[in-house]
Amino acid sequence: ASFRITATADVLEFNHAARVVKKIKLVGYPCKIFKKTALIKDMFTSDLEIARFEGAAVRTVSGIRGQVKKAAKEEIGNQPKKMGGLPKEGIARCTFEDRILMSDIVFLRAWTQVEVPHFYNPLTTALQPRTNTWQGMKTVAELRREHNLPVPLNKDSLYK
């Protein structure tokens, strides 16, 4: 799904920095529940990703709010299955306002920055002398008026 963003504005300074973000929703499920703390699986893929979201607000489907604390390394329920095995990565320890159920689904809403290719064309008309004025591109309406062209009519777009 490709899209374009067009913006017109008054120039206060010459800086083309623009931040475009999109909303992401991470979903996880409890694998072990203590009193108000739970180990959440399938929300993150690595412990490094959990460290990035430490302190982030989480919420269950039933409306219980919580917070991501840290990666569950050697906690109960995250022990290696065989000798010499490593604990599973991506299990987060979260604390909640109330005890959650195993059937609860945990959501984390976050915003991620999207890299957008920029086309930056500043108009420095304020720097030109008043006798030499800059003329921008004509609009479609101005071109139609000059060439006496009617507005194209699509019969499918008419009300019946």
Q: What is the DSSP string of 63-75?
A: --EEEEEEE-SSS
Q: Is the pLDDT of residue 112 over 80?
A: yes
pTM for this structure?
Answer: 0.58
pLDDT per residue over 46-98, tens digit each? Answer: 999 999 999 999 999 999 999 999 998 766 555 555 555 566 788 999 999 99
> Distance between CA 40 and CA 28 in Å, rounded?
6
Helix (H, G, I), strand (E, B) or coil at 139: coil
| Length, in residues, of the chain | 160
Q: Is the pLDDT of residue 1 over 60?
A: no
Q: Which helix (H) or strand (E) segment is 145 a member of?
A: helix 140-146
Q: Is the pLDDT of residue 116 over 70?
A: yes
Local confidence band at 129 (pLDDT 50, 70, 90 cut-offs)? confident
Distances from the Cα of 36 to the Cα of 30, 40, 44, angstroms:
12, 12, 20
pLDDT at 49: 92
Under 8 Å CB-to-CB from 142, ≥6 apart: which residues?
none
Domains of the chain with bracketed CATH: 20-114 (2.40.10.190), 125-155 (no CATH)
Contact 91, 71 (CB under 8 A): yes
Q: Is the pLDDT of residue 11 over 90?
A: no
Q: How many CB atoms lie within 10 A of CB 29?
A: 14
pLDDT at 74: 66
Local confidence band at 5 (pLDDT 50, 70, 90 cut-offs)? confident
pLDDT per residue over 34-44, tens digit each? Answer: 999 999 999 99
pLDDT at 78: 54
pLDDT at 4: 72
Q: What letter does residue 150 receive in the DSSP assignment?
A: P
